[in-house]
Amino acid sequence: MSDVTSARLTITGLRAGYGAADVLNGIDLTVEPGRLTVLLGPNGAGKSTLLRCVMGLLKPSAGTIELDGTRIDGQSSAKVARAGIALVPEGRRLFGPEPIADNLLIGGWVSGRSKTQLEADRESMYERFPILGRRKKEAAASLSGGEAQMLAIAMALMARPRVLLLDEPSLGLAPKIVSEVMELAVDLARQGVGVLLVEQMVSKALAVADQVAVLGRGEVVASGTPAEVRADTAVAATYLGVAADA
C-alpha cells in the first residue's frame, strides 16, 4: 500500500440513533491521515453506531461527515467505500464457504479496479499475510480466529482505503495475535492511512495510539494524546476502567 492517497476524516455535530432514541448526541471527531486514532468507551457508548454512520450503513439525523472536505454522510456504503473508506466489522463476517482467494477479490471488488489489478493486489496481500497465501484455496471458514481476522483486514485493504475503520479487532483473539493486529494498525498508519480503531483492550490500545477519543453516553467526554487521557483521573476511572497511572 505504498501508493496510499492520504485523506482526513472529519465528523462534526453527529447525531444518530435507532427509532426515536439518539445514540450519538453531537459527536466531533477527526481522524488525521497517517495517524492511529483510538476510540474508547464502555459498551453502549455509541462506538459501533459511529462507525456505521461513517460507513453509510446508518443515516445520521444531524451533523456532517467529510472526507477531505467532501461530505459523505447519507451516502450509500458502496459510495463511501469507493470514496476511500473501509470497515473491518466486529465479528469479521467472511464469506465462509468461499476460498480465501475469492474472499480477497470480493473485498476489492467495490473499488472498481480491473481483475488484473485486483489479482496483483491479492498477491501483495499474500506477501503481507503469508498464511493466506499458503491456504488460499481453502474455505475461509477453515481459518482460526486470528487467521480469520487477518483475512478480514486483508479484504478491507484490497479496497485500497484512505481511511480504515477497525471495530473490536482483538475480540476473541489470543494475546500474541492481538499484539500482531495492533502492530499492523500502527504500520498501516505509518504508510499514510488514517486508522480509526475501536477497542475494549484499553491498555493495548493506548500503547499504540497517536490520538484518543473517549465516548460516554453518545458524547466525546475526553480527547487528546494517550498521556493526556490517562492523566484525567475521572475519565480514566469512570470510562476506561483503569487508574490514571496504570
State the 10-residue block means of pLDDT for the chain, 246 residues long: 75 92 94 96 92 95 96 94 92 86 92 88 95 95 91 94 93 87 94 94 93 94 94 84 45
162, 194 Cβ separation under 8 angstroms: yes
The helix or strand, by DSSP H or E, that contains position 143, with its residue range, turns out to be none
Report the CATH fold assignment for 25-240: Rossmann fold (3.40.50)
Q: What is the 3-state secondary structure (H, E, C) of 197-233?
A: EECCCHHHHHHHCCEEEEEECCEEEEEECHHHHHHCH
Q: What is the Cα–Cα distance from 201 to 172, expressed in whole angstroms?
A: 11
CA distances from 214 to 9, 104, 170, 224 (A): 17, 33, 18, 9
Q: Where are the domains of the chain?
A: 25-240
User: Residue 243 has what pLDDT?
Assistant: 41
